[in-house]
Structure 1
Amino acid sequence: MVFKKMLAAFGVGGPSVDTVLDSPVCQPGGQLTGKVYLKGGETPVDIEHVALGLVTRVEVEGGDYEHDAHVEFHRIPVAGAFRLEAGEQRAVPFQFPVPWETPITDLYGQHLHGMTMGLRTELAVARAVDKGDLDPVSVQPLPAQERILEAFARLGFRFKRADLEHGHIHGVAQTLPFYQEIEFFAAPQYAHRVNEVELTFVANPNFMDVILEADKRSGLFTPGGDNFGHLRVEYATAHATDWAAEIDAWMRAVIERYPAGHAPYGHEYHHGHEYHHGHEYHHGHGGGLGAGGAIAGAAAGFIGGMVAGEVIDEIGDFFEGEE
């Protein structure tokens, strides 16, 4: 075993550590497993604790500017206090639960431009704490999330970038201090009225919230601005819906029927109360998304059912906009 991470905080001759994942690939709500390998240095040391933390990069607004910050958003202890003898080698197995709201970093083997995710090992000895390097982690979408992303690709949207915004979305039971925005260039059939569309997932064990934001161009007689849609996804329902058709219906309603600041089919967001990405709104009434009002089998569903999406032929075009 090669111990690649000499802990700088403990000096030459101190202990070393290496974290080895069984697999760096996971899903929201899943887990990462592996072992933390420790090797004693030249003298015995008393280890106070070993901990692991998921770390990602978040955009934080600070006055008139934004900056990136690396945020540890989930942390678990791996081992408590123990004595590590000189030259001793010890393996500490772990099971690291991945939060349901963990942002997606990869899709169909393609990394989402703008995303950073890693597992960091922390070792504390004699009140000195060493936070090691990040071991890269790949977060794949849940099947329901994959179905939505697949529908965007089928409609001709091109992926632009993804990022994490610091803050909370009004009306959503969000536990992490940030949310992911997956940005798309508008598909050709909507590009005359819409610049970009942003997609946000906030998942939990039973359902997920799906938030859509369309950046609408101004027209000769109609204003531009952002149009929002917020729908609840029940995993166990709405598994037979044509999601490309549903998204297309929402987009066409945004373009043709609704002024900026409103979303179709009973989901209205008005200016004046809460903030989402710099725009104020509050919730109106609930309802389904799609022509006629509600999706069959889901009282408030945009997409549901843990249905595996097939690999799409259009994946190359989907990532064409990646920078």
Structure 2
Amino acid sequence: MVLRILKEIAGAGVSVNTVLAQPGITPGGTLAGEVRFTGGDVDLEVQRIELDLAAGVLRAQRESERLVPTGFFQAQVCGPFRLAAGGSHAIPFTVTIPWETPLTAMGGRPITGMELGVATELALSRAFDKTDHDALTVEPLPVQAEALRAIEAAGFQLQGGKLVDGTYPGSHMPFYQEIEFWSTGEFTAHFKKLSVTFFTGAETTEVVFQADNLGTLLTPGVDVSQRFTVRNNVPSDFTELVRQQLWELVKRRTPGNLSKIHNPLPGRSATSDLHSPSIRAFRRMFRRKKNGVAHLSQFALFLYSEGENTTPHP
């Protein structure tokens, strides 16, 4: 009797595996796949199966920056059911991911510093949950890809990317992405590094260029940036448009203009209650109560252990 109870609590023998229909996706696209799972040694009650998207976000802690695992999208695959001992099952799923999902690759090239994954959680009643973790590749939409190609054509070289803690006005994400480039062409005399941020919706995309990381998009002070909006059906003169916007950024950086520029984007901080870099603090942050059952995202701890102190360096 005692052994049976222990097996129930541990969920002994239960396994879960998520198979994605395709390894890559674009923002706003459909993520499809199948959750495959097998019952254990005893019958168990499953409360639900959920998919969680999470990413490593740079967050300032005292005088340093650390990657903090941050969930930004959740979808339920199915509700309660009874999982018979030893039974094998497969449940297909299709979910639409957010338009502002960060990019992890450009034309098959990984963007250094970007970590994004799917965690599948099999929530068991009165037992430890079972999870499966899968990396997810997110490629640019056509409008984003054209902008990035035009930037490289202007003499910029991809350095990497990062997710910055904070919510941009009008966005629903707890962070925003900066894709960073080194200047190697005609713009080298004007700035060394260019950061590119996309705020994408179903019809339009706002593109933000920021030079040499003077300030941030969400903090007070000098923020030398250039913003423009394009429709998602890519204009034919996109390359010329990008060059024009880069030259506008150069003009804004001239000494006579710097004193006139102020941060026009007062955002609301998404800073967490997490103040300690310890594993114990991360466990507290990612523990959540649902119907009396405690859940802990092991994927979050995986991101932390893999990504601590991974700020891109030249």
- TM-score tier, shorter chain, comes to 0.7 to 0.9
Q: Please say if 1:83 is aligned against 2:75.
A: no
Q: Please say if 1:204 is aligned against 2:201.
A: yes
> Matched residue of 1:270: which SS?
coil
Number of the residue aligned with 1:247? 242
The answer to whether the 8 Å contact 1:58/1:164 transfers is yes
Q: Distance in 1 between matches of 2:43 and 2:61?
A: 45
Q: Which amino acid aligns with 2:236?
A: A
| Deviation (angstroms), 1:123 | 1.2
**Equivalent of residue 179 in structure 1, options 173, 176, 196:** 176
Number of the residue aligned with 1:150? 149
Q: Which amino acid aligns with 1:182?
A: I
Number of matched residues? 258
Number of the residue aligned with 2:291? none
| Deviation (angstroms), 1:64 | 3.0
The answer to whether the 8 Å contact 2:18/2:132 transfers is no
Number of the residue aligned with 2:295? none
Higher helix fraction: Structure 1 or Structure 2? 2
Number of the residue aligned with 2:262? 270
| Deviation (angstroms), 1:216 | 8.5
Q: Distance in 2 between matches of 1:212 and 1:269?
A: 15
Q: Distance in 2 between matches of 1:197 and 1:20?
A: 37
Structure 1: gaps (5+ residues): 1-7, 218-224, 278-320
Q: Which amino acid aligns with 2:37?
A: L
Counterparts of 1:99-114 in structure 2, within 5 Å, are: 99-114=98-113
Number of the residue aligned with 2:114? 115
With over 3 angstroms needed to count, the CA separation of the structure-2 counterparts of 1:168 and 1:260, relative to structure 1, is: farther
Q: Distance in 2 between matches of 1:129 and 1:45?
A: 11
Q: 1:39-96 deviations in whole A, cap 9, x for unaligned? A: 1111111111110111111111234332111111100111111001111111111112
Give the alignment's TM-score, normalised by structure 2: 0.74
| Deviation (angstroms), 1:228 | 0.8
With over 3 angstroms needed to count, the CA separation of the structure-2 counterparts of 1:59 and 1:261, relative to structure 1, is: farther
Q: Which amino acid aligns with 1:270?
A: H
Backbone CA RMSD of aligned residues: 2.9
Q: Which amino acid aligns with 2:18?
A: T
Number of the residue aligned with 1:314? none
> Matched residue of 1:151: which SS?
helix
Structure 2: gaps (5+ residues): 1-6, 215-221, 270-311
Q: 1:243-280 deviations in whole A, cap 9, x for unaligned? A: 332332333343356536969xxxx8525873699xxx
Give the alignment's TM-score, normalised by structure 1: 0.72
Number of the residue aligned with 1:300? none
Q: Distance in 2 between matches of 1:18 and 1:43?
A: 19
The more displaced of 91-100 and 125-134 is 125-134
> Matched residue of 1:192: which SS?
coil
Q: Distance in 1 between matches of 2:101 and 2:147?
A: 17
Q: Which amino acid aligns with 1:228?
A: S
| Deviation (angstroms), 1:136 | 0.9
> Matched residue of 1:23: which SS?
coil
Counterparts of 1:1-323 in structure 2, within 5 Å, are: 11=10, 13-130=12-129, 132-169=131-168, 172-215=169-212, 226-236=223-233, 239-241=235-237, 243-256=238-251, 258-259=253-254, 269-271=261-263, 274=266
With over 3 angstroms needed to count, the CA separation of the structure-2 counterparts of 1:127 and 1:60, relative to structure 1, is: farther
Q: Which amino acid aligns with 1:247?
A: V
- Greater RCO between the two (CA within 8 Å, min separation 6)? 2
Q: Distance in 2 between matches of 1:54 and 1:39?
A: 23
With over 3 angstroms needed to count, the CA separation of the structure-2 counterparts of 1:175 and 1:260, relative to structure 1, is: farther
The answer to whether the 8 Å contact 1:28/1:141 transfers is yes
Q: Which amino acid aligns with 1:250?
A: Q
With over 3 angstroms needed to count, the CA separation of the structure-2 counterparts of 1:262 and 1:202, relative to structure 1, is: farther
